[in-house]
Amino acid sequence: MSETGEGLTGFGFATTTDEVVVGVDLTGRTAIVTGATSGLGVETARALAVTGARVVLAARRTGAAARIAAELTERTGNDLIEARELDLADPRSVRRFTDAWTGPVHVLVNNAGIMALPELERTPYGWEQQLATNFLGHFALVHGLERPLAEASGARVVCLSSAAHLRSPVVFDDLHFRFRPYDPWLAYAQSKTADVLLAVGITRRWGDRGVRANAAHPGIVRTELQRHIRWDTEGLPMKSVEQGAATSVLLATAPELAHAGAGYYQDCRPAAVVAERRPDHSGGVAPYALDPAAAERLWETATAALAP
């Protein structure tokens, strides 16, 4: 088995989370899933709970997260599922979450996100809302959990990306659309490229301490994430929620990927590096999303933005 997971067999487009976790035992380990109040987040949390892990649902809507935790406990028989408040768009909320954390974190799934906001929105700190929520909030979370992740001696971080990243690199000279016209899809694409670069940065900086990260493209899945868009899905390769969450769960649990990092996976397999967007929706990963120099620059930019 190579460190990229190229030896994975038996998994593909239609693989489900239940197939991924067969034989996996995470008893005694702790997993955090952001945005686990609907769609892929709930299914990811359920699959991790099935393995026996303690699962923390980190979400802005704590009431909804608490209800989901209770439902998952009943469905899985795992009573180590809990909800904690986390608003990724608010650095103060992220800091409260990380400051209150005790003990190691073995799995962190950066699942929460927003997509294609129709109008330009900024956080109180001036960041474009999609980049702030999808990337910066997760960067702050990872940064604040550096020690708990290292304490796990083999932690895995999963960064949810998207094939939409093929629409745009991170535009460092105008991250927040102060000069170029705002475009909902370009803003979303930039944030999803940033999520891949976060995985690259984590592995490069902390890999020697046992912390490795990979990015996942879940595929096209109908969830609450698409509430701002209307599109014709006829002919598109659609997935169920169970299939869409499978790649994230694989990266979080598969023994074969214990030492894999800085990769981009789709359909439970490492994705091919492509030179251009494919019209057949077959995906792949853009070279700029795996660029170590861009990952370093983005890390430094985010660090400066979060400085007191």
Pairwise CA distance, residues 151 & 169, whole Å: 33
Model confidence band, residue 205 (pLDDT cutoffs 50, 70, 90): very high
What one-character DSSP code corresponds to residue 283?
A: -
Rounded to an integer, the average pLDDT of 271-300 is 93
Cβ–Cβ under 8 Å, residues 199 and 248 = no
Model confidence band, residue 234 (pLDDT cutoffs 50, 70, 90): low
Pairwise CA distance, residues 123 & 302, whole Å: 14
Give the SS3 label for residue 179.
Answer: coil
| 142-153 pLDDT, tens digit each | 999 999 999 999
288 pLDDT more than 60:
yes
Closest to 195 measured CA to CA, from 163, 241, 228, 150: 163
| 164-176 pLDDT, tens digit each | 999 999 999 999 9
| 68-106 pLDDT, tens digit each | 999 999 999 999 999 999 999 999 999 999 999 999 999
125, 182, 188, 288: the active-site residue: 188
Rounded to an integer, the average pLDDT of 60-67 is 95
Answer yes or no: 264 catalytic: no
The residues, any chain, with a CB within 8 Å of residue 224's CB and separated by 6 or more, are 38, 39
Side-chain-side CA neighbours of 158 within 13 Å: the count stands at 35
Rounded to an integer, the average pLDDT of 225-250 is 77
Q: Where are the alpha helices (DSSP H) in the chain?
A: 17-20, 39-50, 62-76, 91-100, 129-131, 137-144, 146-151, 184-206, 241-244, 246-253, 292-306
Rounded to two decimals, what is the model's pTM?
Answer: 0.94
Q: Which two tokens stand for residue 156?
A: 């895995």
Q: Which pLDDT does position 278 carry in this prediction?
A: 83
Q: Which pLDDT does position 281 carry in this prediction?
A: 72
Percent of the chain with pLDDT over 90: 86
- What are the φ and ψ backbone dihedral angles of 32, each rounded to 5 degrees? -115, 135
Cβ–Cβ under 8 Å, residues 250 and 19 = no
What one-character DSSP code corresponds to residue 271?
A: P
Based on its alpha-carbon atoms, the radius of gyration of the chain, rounded to whole angstroms, reads: 18
